[in-house]
A and B are shown apart, each in its own frame.
Chain A
Amino acid sequence: MTQEKEDPEEKLNLSILITPNGFTLTGADKVLPPDSETDGPRIPCLDAGCRSPESYDYHALTERLKKVKDRYESEENVIFVPDGGVPYEVLVLTMDAARDDQEDKDDQGKARTLFPYVVIAAGVQ
């Protein structure tokens, strides 16, 4: 698979919608295109109905964000759009998943930075 690099004219505006069904990623003023048939913009919960904060697939979210970061290396901002009914703990765990990749550490033990600067939008009413 060829990975396109960042176009300086193209603004990413990466957003993560946190809904009662999982995550949806949007960016560059559109829903991020899937990299394959199984790797779409929506990351559903590990169990139907997202019954607990642990049901959200934070690992899959980090994996998707790593691919976005590969393409937009200088981008550090992310906009969260949480649904009003989502527990606060999910918001914090999503920040952790978006901030850095704990599985990719350098010689000093510092994790690879992904999108550390979070703006929280009003969300789905």
Chain B
Amino acid sequence: MAKKKTVRRGGGNEELNITSMMDMMTIILVFLLKSYSAEDISVQGNDDLVLPVSTSLKPPKLAVNVIVSRAQVLVDGEPVLSLVEEADPTTGQPVIKVPEAAKRGAKIIELYDKLVAKAEQAKRLGERAGNDQFDFKGQVLLQCDKRLPFAVIREVMYTAGQAQFGEFRFVVIKGSG
């Protein structure tokens, strides 16, 4: 039986062309980064932050992340304000509130300042990117503890609205539906 011989061309000093490999890796990297940034948000549950369960199927979008737990308000992970627990004057029951000293009317001053800075930053980034996808759209992801009274969330939403964030997406835990 005749054996086939493998013939090597060009001798043993051949260099590997990695340009096409680099192109491919770059495309994969961009794809992965885009996938992660579009679909993943950080949710850190604890005793003070229990998210409600919902039948909603919409995936979250990347936006400014505002967390309202039973203890504090955070913007993109940075604590902005501590909430207080006081007795309700009519029922005597303990109720979580935004401290009066932290507000001007229904506007929460520290939160307003933080969100205005975020809005300005997002607008600058949008201008530099020169791409509609990165334009400032005034969207907020709200992660709120399910036991909070609506009055607290109303003040947070009102403050965000004053700081040019007019579209809210509530983060929930996906339940059966």
Contact = CB atoms under 8 A, between A and B. Distances in A.
Decide if A and B are genuine partners.
Answer: yes
Nearest to B177: A102
Q: Is the contact region of chain A dominated by helix, strand, or loop, or is it mixed?
A: mixed
A9 to B, nearest CB: 29
A92 interface: yes
B154 interface: yes
Interface string A81-96: 0111111110111011
Interface in B43-76: 52, 54-56
Contacts of A88: 52, 144-150, 153
A122 B151 contact: no
B56 A82 contact: no
Nearest to B158: A122
Q: Is the contact region of chain B dominated by helix, strand, or loop, or is it mixed?
A: mixed
Interface string A56-85: 000000000000000000000000001111
Contacts of A83: 150
A102 B57 CA distance: 13
Nearest to B146: A89
Given A92-B172, A102-B177, A120-B157, A85 B150 contact: yes
Given A84-B154, A123-B154, A99 B149 contact: no
A17 to B, nearest CB: 12
Given A92-B52, A122-B158, 15 more contacts: A18-B150, A82-B154, A84-B151, A84-B154, A88-B144, A88-B148, A88-B149, A89-B146, A91-B150, A99-B55, A99-B56, A102-B177, A120-B157, A120-B168, A123-B151
25 contacts: A53-B146, A83-B150, A85-B149, A86-B149, A87-B146, A87-B149, A88-B52, A88-B144, A88-B145, A88-B147, A88-B149, A88-B150, A88-B153, A89-B146, A91-B153, A92-B54, A95-B54, A95-B56, A96-B56, A96-B177, A99-B55, A99-B56, A100-B55, A123-B150, A123-B151
